[in-house]
Each structure stands twice: as C-alpha cells, then as structure tokens.
Amino acid sequence: MPSASSAVSDSGRPVPSSLWRDADFRRLWVGQTASQFGEQASLVVLPLFAVLALNASAGQLGVLRAVGQAPILVLSLFVGAWVDRWRTRTTMVLTDVGRALVLGAAAMAGFLGWLGLPGLLALAFAAGSLSVFFDVAYQTSLVRLVERDQLVPGNSALEGSRSAAQIGGPALGGALVSLLSAPIAAASSAMLFALSFLSIRRIRQIESIPKRLEHHPRVRRRIHQGLRFVAGDTSLRTVCLASAAFQFFFAAVMTVYLLFLPRELHLSGTVVGLTLAATGPGALLGSVLAARLPSRFGYGAVLVCAAALGDGVFLGVPTLSDSSVVTVPALLAVSFVFGLGGQLVNVTVMAVRQAVTPDGMQGRAAATITFVGMGLTPLGSLLGGFLAEEWGLRPSLLVTAAGMMLSPVVMAFSPLARLGRELPASPDAPPAAAHSRPS
C-alpha cells in the first residue's frame, strides 16, 4: 500500500492523502485488488488444468473458455440495473464467498482426482457468473463511499489495480500451475477471494441506496437508458467497438496460445508459467508510463500507439520454433511488451471512461461497456478452438493475432485518436438516471 504522501493515481494525478487515510477506502482497495487478481488468475488456472491434467483438445478448451465467459454476455446488462438498487458491499461480499467456495471445490476435486471436464465446465460458469456481479458492484461502490471531489483519484486507484490484475493475474495463475500444480493454484485463487471478503466486509460506512419508488423505471427501461447513454457518447462508443474487437480476437489468441506453447514449442509447464509471468514487469512499466505519457503526447496518441505495440507483438510468435535458442527469450519479450502496451491502454481508457460518465450512470455504463466490450469473448474462444483443430496451431495463431490489430485501427480512425492532453468533460447525468443515484 502506498503511503499517503506518495500515492499517485494512474491518471497522473496525486491521490489525496485524505483518501488513503480513509479506512473504508483502503478496505475496498485491498479487497478489490485481491478479488481481481483471483479472478484473472482463475481464468488461466482452469484452462491449464484442462490442458495439462485432462489432456483437453483444442475444441474442448475453446468450449471451456466460452462457458466461463458466457455470463458476461448473458448477465451483464441485468446485473447493472440490479446493482444500482442494492448495497454494493453486500453484493461484493456474497460473490467473494461464492467464488472462494467454487475454486475451493475445484481444488478439492482436483486433489482427489474427481474433477472431469463436465465438472470443470460447471465450475467455470459459476465463477464467471459471480464475477459479473462483483465487477459491476465494485465500479459502483466508490460513488457511495467517498466524497464527490475524491471520485476521480479513487476511481483511478481502483481501475489501476484492476488493469494490473487483468495483465498480471493470468501470469500469476500460469506460474502457480507451473511451479506447484493446478489444484494448488485453484486453492490459491480461492484464498485471494477469501482475502477480498475479509477486507470488504470490514467496510463500516452504511451505503445510501436509491429508494424503491413506485415510479422507479423497470429493469428493461433502465438497461435501455444505459445502452442509449453509451451509444450516444462518441468516446464510449469507440471504446466499446475497439474493446469488442480486441477481446474477441484476444480470446481466440489465448485459446490457441495455451495449446501452442506446450504442444507446438514443447515447453514445460514451468517455462510456460515464466513466459506468462513476464507480462508483470511490462505492466509495471506501463503503469509508470501511463501516469506521464498522456499529459505529454495526448490521450489519443498514447491509446493508438500502445494498442498497436501491445497487440502487434503477437504477430511474431508463430515464427518461433522449439529448437531455437531465442524462442524463450523472444516469448519473454513478447509478454513484456504486451504487458506494457496493454497496461497503457487499460489505464488510459479507464481515465477517459471515468471522465465522460456521469455519477448517476456508473453501474449501467460499466455494465453496458462490459457487455459490448467483452460479450463476444465466448465466441472468440470457440473460434480459437475451431481454427486450431481445422487449420493447425501456427496458422490459427497468426490469423487471430492479426485480428487483434483491428482494435488500434478502430481507434485510429475515430475521434478518440484526436484526444489531446486533457480529458473531455463529463456531461450532465440524464434526468432518467436521477432515480438510480444514491440519496
């Protein structure tokens, strides 16, 4: 935990010391960080368990990843409307308990040799469903927890840790599977969720939640309001399209990549874990640069260049061979550069999204962007598995990696690329959103 005097947000602004002295904010930050790392680690632990322990085929791995990602498509919009009317602390605590139990069950079944592919599919879907609830709830919780003038630095701190988890979490999961075993890795993820539960449940401030009035818009109408708001904002609309392109092809890439490393390059589990873990140092450097580069070169330029760098580096992976002495160093470099570029994009996009979203739309806007941006990931995972079986691993990896370049292209030809050194201002919240604001 950074000290009160030295903490710096990922948007480049110093975090006020009063914010870090707020015990409830620290509890939320610790809990959210642990939860995000547990979630992202489990996204690698379960597929690697299928590949290494169950010898899953490419098609089966694609189905497993798709099942775990399906709740994003199925539940996100409904969860956004639901969370706006309930206490986020309760939602986060219950989902942490649920995910700890799910990963604990996976670990126990794995130790006893009882976990087959059907059970793994059920656990992946359960964990994915609970994660949708947590992810939307934590993005809404800060609005009800801190003063208005602390929202920007508070959101920057939370989104910075989430961005780090999105890149470092998979590396952590891969390293745990490689150095220990899949069941122990699953148990470690369960412990992270337990840590999140213990931290968030200690939040003392009582949330003010919207009153349930008779004229309160129905869920369907509230979902429509969130969709209309995001679609009507140029920056958010572009973020959705670029994110959807990236997440779709990245899901396909990772399905092929998790098979390519052990089966085509014949790398051991330990080496696979080390190559994945190299994203961590890259993400750390990306986090440092994200606090400086946008204010110097402009948010648009940083977004496009970082996305092109981080996504494009995967194009070189299919050229590697298992007998070359440069293979492992090259894979480490790929992971490092991907972590650097990915963290730059994540933090910069989060800053833009936070800046243009009114407080009263937090839950629905977050759910809408998640729905659009990540809703296609199950189909991407299925595509990766299908291509790997039909075309082979190298051609499939090349095609899916090339598809990832669509994301920086979308941003480059949009007004998002022309953002300058200052973030755009937030519009006033729509009148319909007033019902969802905390009283």
Tens-digit pLDDT profile for residues 194-208: 999 999 888 887 666
For the chain, helix, strand, coil in percent to 5 are 80, 0, 20
Question: Taking Cα atoms as reference points, which of 274, 337, 22, 66 lies closest to residue 158?
Answer: 22
The tokens describing 22, both together, are 């707020």
Alpha helix stretches (DSSP H) within 113-233: 117-145, 151-179, 182-200, 219-232
What pairs with residue 8 in β-bridges? 14
Question: 33-86: per-residue pLDDT in tens?
Answer: 888 888 888 877 888 788 777 888 878 888 888 888 888 878 877 777 677 677
The arithmetic mean of pLDDT across residues 8-22, rounded, is 52
Tens-digit pLDDT profile for residues 206-248: 666 555 544 455 667 777 777 788 777 777 888 888 989 999 9
Q: Are 248 and 376 in contact (CB under 8 A)?
A: yes
394 neighbors 264 (Cβ within 8 angstroms): yes
Is 71 in contact with 125 (CB distance < 8 Å)? yes
Phi/psi for 8 (5° steps) reads -130, 130
Q: Which residues contact 216 (CB under 8 A, 6 or more apart)?
A: 85, 210, 435
Look-up of token digits 């981080």: 310
Q: Which of 11-15, 110-114, 267-271 has the lowest mean pLDDT?
A: 11-15
**pTM for the model:** 0.67
Q: Name, in order, each residue with C-beta under 8 angstroms of 347's C-beta and a sequence gap of 6 or more.
A: 10, 11, 159, 160, 163, 286, 287, 290
